[in-house]
Amino acid sequence: MIRIDAIWLATAPLDMRAGTETALARVVTVFGAAQPHCAYLFANRRANRMKVLVHDGIGVWLAARRLNQGKFHWPGIRHGHEIELETEQLQALVLGLPWQRVGSAGAISML
Protein backbone atom coordinates (compact mmCIF):
# COMPACT_ATOMS: atom_id res chain seq x y z
CA MET A 1 0.00 0.00 0.00
CA ILE A 2 2.77 2.46 0.90
CA ARG A 3 5.95 2.23 -1.17
CA ILE A 4 9.13 2.40 0.90
CA ASP A 5 12.42 2.57 -0.99
CA ALA A 6 14.75 3.32 1.93
CA ILE A 7 14.59 2.71 5.68
CA TRP A 8 16.60 4.96 7.99
CA LEU A 9 17.19 4.45 11.71
CA ALA A 10 18.10 7.39 13.96
CA THR A 11 20.37 6.40 16.85
CA ALA A 12 19.49 9.32 19.16
CA PRO A 13 16.37 8.73 21.31
CA LEU A 14 13.07 10.49 20.64
CA ASP A 15 10.47 11.42 23.26
CA MET A 16 7.53 9.11 22.50
CA ARG A 17 5.09 11.92 23.31
CA ALA A 18 6.23 13.52 20.05
CA GLY A 19 3.54 13.88 17.44
CA THR A 20 3.80 14.03 13.68
CA GLU A 21 5.18 17.58 13.49
CA THR A 22 7.84 16.97 16.15
CA ALA A 23 8.89 13.68 14.55
CA LEU A 24 9.04 15.35 11.14
CA ALA A 25 11.19 18.16 12.58
CA ARG A 26 13.56 15.52 14.01
CA VAL A 27 13.78 13.81 10.60
CA VAL A 28 14.75 17.12 8.99
CA THR A 29 17.31 17.79 11.75
CA VAL A 30 18.94 14.33 11.64
CA PHE A 31 18.58 13.40 7.96
CA GLY A 32 18.47 16.82 6.29
CA ALA A 33 15.03 16.28 4.72
CA ALA A 34 12.14 13.84 4.67
CA GLN A 35 12.58 12.16 1.30
CA PRO A 36 9.56 10.67 -0.50
CA HIS A 37 9.12 6.91 -0.11
CA CYS A 38 11.44 6.72 2.91
CA ALA A 39 10.78 5.46 6.43
CA TYR A 40 12.49 6.97 9.47
CA LEU A 41 12.71 5.01 12.72
CA PHE A 42 13.16 6.39 16.24
CA ALA A 43 13.19 4.75 19.69
CA ASN A 44 12.87 6.06 23.22
CA ARG A 45 15.77 5.92 25.72
CA ARG A 46 14.76 2.49 27.06
CA ALA A 47 14.36 1.19 23.49
CA ASN A 48 11.05 -0.52 24.31
CA ARG A 49 9.03 1.87 22.11
CA MET A 50 9.52 2.85 18.49
CA LYS A 51 8.00 5.43 16.17
CA VAL A 52 8.17 5.25 12.39
CA LEU A 53 7.56 8.24 10.18
CA VAL A 54 6.94 7.48 6.49
CA HIS A 55 6.78 10.08 3.72
CA ASP A 56 4.61 8.51 1.00
CA GLY A 57 5.22 11.25 -1.58
CA ILE A 58 2.02 13.12 -0.69
CA GLY A 59 1.95 13.29 3.10
CA VAL A 60 3.43 11.66 6.16
CA TRP A 61 2.37 8.67 8.26
CA LEU A 62 3.37 8.17 11.89
CA ALA A 63 3.14 4.74 13.48
CA ALA A 64 4.14 3.50 16.92
CA ARG A 65 5.18 0.08 18.24
CA ARG A 66 5.73 -1.04 21.82
CA LEU A 67 7.28 -4.22 23.13
CA ASN A 68 5.59 -5.57 26.24
CA GLN A 69 8.75 -7.49 27.19
CA GLY A 70 12.37 -6.84 26.34
CA LYS A 71 13.59 -4.04 24.14
CA PHE A 72 14.50 -3.28 20.57
CA HIS A 73 18.14 -3.88 19.58
CA TRP A 74 18.90 -0.21 19.01
CA PRO A 75 22.43 0.92 18.18
CA GLY A 76 24.02 3.68 20.22
CA ILE A 77 25.03 7.11 19.02
CA ARG A 78 28.62 5.86 18.63
CA HIS A 79 27.50 4.14 15.39
CA GLY A 80 26.68 7.52 13.84
CA HIS A 81 23.48 9.54 13.83
CA GLU A 82 21.69 7.46 11.20
CA ILE A 83 21.88 3.95 9.77
CA GLU A 84 20.22 2.62 6.60
CA LEU A 85 18.41 -0.70 7.03
CA GLU A 86 17.34 -3.39 4.60
CA THR A 87 13.76 -4.68 4.61
CA GLU A 88 14.81 -7.95 6.29
CA GLN A 89 16.60 -6.00 9.01
CA LEU A 90 13.48 -3.89 9.65
CA GLN A 91 11.34 -7.02 9.95
CA ALA A 92 13.73 -8.44 12.56
CA LEU A 93 13.97 -5.12 14.42
CA VAL A 94 10.20 -4.65 14.85
CA LEU A 95 9.97 -8.15 16.33
CA GLY A 96 12.66 -7.29 18.87
CA LEU A 97 15.23 -9.60 17.29
CA PRO A 98 18.91 -8.74 16.75
CA TRP A 99 18.90 -7.35 13.21
CA GLN A 100 22.57 -6.45 12.77
CA ARG A 101 23.46 -9.77 11.10
CA VAL A 102 20.33 -10.15 8.98
CA GLY A 103 20.40 -9.63 5.21
CA SER A 104 23.61 -8.74 3.44
CA ALA A 105 25.18 -7.67 6.78
CA GLY A 106 25.29 -11.36 7.74
CA ALA A 107 27.32 -12.43 4.70
CA ILE A 108 30.41 -14.52 5.43
CA SER A 109 33.23 -13.29 3.24
CA MET A 110 36.34 -14.75 4.89
CA LEU A 111 37.25 -18.16 6.30
Q: Following DSSP, what letter does each residue of 47-103 receive, concatenated?
A: SSEEEEEEE-SSSEEEEEEE-SSS---PPPGGG-SEEEE-HHHHHHHHTT---TTSG
Q: 29-71, pLDDT tens digit by residue? A: 999 999 999 999 999 999 999 999 999 999 999 999 998 888 9
DSSP 33: S
pLDDT at 96: 84
pLDDT at 82: 81
pLDDT at 38: 96
Domain assignments of the chain as residue spans, ordered by start:
6-100
pLDDT at 110: 65
Q: Which residues pair with 50 in a beta bridge?
A: 43, 65
Pick the range with the lowest mean pLDDT from 35-44, 87-96, 98-107: 98-107
pLDDT surpassing 70 at residue 24: yes
